[in-house]
């Protein structure tokens, strides 16, 4: 049952709350169990009210467009929050972009290009939202969020709105120092004024390269494993290739033949197939190279 404090506070909230809500249609893998509760706040104020009203014991999980997420077959306990489109609005302010956390990375890249701002076109190659990009310091083709981060707005576990400056958050490979409980709602990103045509040309090259080398039209979750940190070492896909895992199958899950650091739902996979296949890949890579691959895809929920 919904916790008492939340039930009592609910009439004052404007968002939508569903119990036993299916999640798989929100996720790129198209697999996974339901959320115990799914909350879609109306806006940032509504999100603050929800977090202030809930019991401390209620677990909270935030999902964006589900591009880098594997929800286990048993679903997610507690409340799942999916930010609304009202938190996806973006504006250009001179040489910066102010983007809501629910904005698609690709949409922000296109807006910046149209405004004649360079330096943000790498976002076109990241299949997710700005909130997720902040949380994992997303990047590709030599640039990461840390290279363009100016500041952000977040909401803490008690529903308090917090403004963060560049010096308040540190970034490292696929992670940031912001506490896990913070929910990003907005980011300010730095661009560089230049010709819109030049920015679009670079962005188009990036898109063409991505489509030529990655299974972008498959049911996948993006890069599965982080690249090992050893300087000059092999990338994750090279280690997977050398371990003989390209095309490896478990149930309805398969290691992509096009790019072997991607797992694919071939049509009838379960989350357990995908996670089990990923663990098998890790074992084979460790056996051959002695390197323990770390998951880049976030796995949540119960089996």
> What confidence tens digit (pLDDT) does each residue in 70-104 have?
999 999 999 999 999 999 999 999 999 999 999 99
Annotated catalytic residue: which of 174, 246, 288, 299? 174
Residues 6+ apart with CB under 8 A from 103: 87, 88, 89, 90, 129, 130
Which residue do the tokens 């500041």 mark? 151
Do the domains 87-212 and 13-85 match in fold?
Answer: no
Spot the catalytic one: 67, 124, 144, 223.
Answer: 223
The fraction of the chain above a pLDDT of 70, given in percent, is 96
pLDDT at 1: 47
pLDDT at residue number 197: 96
For residue 4, what pLDDT is reported? 56
Q: What are phi and psi of 93, to 5 degrees?
A: -125, 90
DSSP-derived letter for residue 104 is B
296 is catalytic: yes
The answer to whether the beta carbons of residues 128 and 174 sit under 8 Å apart is no
Residue range 87-212 in CATH 3.30.43.10: no
Question: CA 205 to CA 34: how far, in whole Å?
Answer: 39
Quick: pLDDT tens for 242-260: 999 999 999 999 999 999 9
pLDDT for the residue 10: 61
Q: How far apart are CA 165 and CA 186, in angstroms?
A: 12
89 is catalytic: no
* CATH value of 219-300 in 2.30.42.10, 3.50.4.10, 3.90.78.10, 1.25.40.10: 3.90.78.10
The CATH classification number of 13-85 equals: 3.30.43.10
User: Which positions of the chain have pLDDT values less than 70?
Assistant: 1-12, 231
Where are the domains positioned within the chain? Answer: 13-85, 87-212, 219-300
On whether the CB atoms of residues 187 and 152 are closer than 8 A, the answer is yes
- Give the tens place of pLDDT for each residue, 35-76: 999 999 999 999 999 999 887 888 999 999 999 999 999 999
d(CA 132, CA 265): 22
């Amino acid at each position: 049952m919904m916790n008492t404090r939340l039930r009592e506070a609910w009439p004052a909230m404007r968002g939508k709350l569903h119990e036993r809500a299916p999640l798989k249609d929100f996720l790129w893998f198209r697999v996974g169990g339901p959320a115990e509760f799914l909350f879609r706040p109306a806006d940032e104020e509504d999100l603050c009210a929800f977090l202030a009203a809930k019991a401390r014991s209620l677990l909270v999980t935030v999902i964006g467009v589900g591009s880098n997420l594997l929800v286990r077959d048993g679903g997610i306990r507690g409340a799942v929050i999916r930010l609304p489109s009202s938190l996806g609005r973006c504006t250009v302010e001179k040489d910066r972009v102010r983007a809501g956390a629910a904005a698609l990375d690709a949409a922000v890249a296109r807006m910046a290009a149209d405004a004649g701002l360079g330096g943000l076109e790498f976002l076109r190659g990241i299949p997710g939202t700005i909130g997720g990009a902040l949380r994992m310091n997303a990047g590709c083709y030599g640039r990461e969020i840390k290279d363009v981060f100016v500041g952000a707005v977040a909401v803490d576990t008690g529903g308090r709105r917090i403004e963060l400056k560049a010096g308040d958050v540190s970034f490292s490979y696929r992670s940031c120092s912001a506490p896990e409980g913070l929910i990003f709602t907005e980011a300010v990103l730095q661009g560089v004024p230049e010709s819109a045509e030049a920015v679009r040309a670079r962005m188009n090259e990036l898109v063409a390269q991505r489509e030529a080398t990655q299974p972008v039209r498959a049911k996948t979750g993006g890069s599965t494993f982080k690249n090992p940190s050893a300087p000059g070492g092999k990338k994750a896909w090279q280690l997977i290739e050398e371990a003989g895992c390209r095309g490896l199958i478990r149930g309805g899950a398969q290691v992509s033949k096009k790019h072997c650091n991607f797992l694919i739902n071939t049509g009838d996979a379960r989350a357990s197939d995908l996670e089990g296949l990923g663990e098998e890949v890790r074992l084979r890579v460790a056996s051959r190279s002695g390197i323990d691959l770390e998951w880049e895809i976030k796995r949540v929920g119960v089996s």
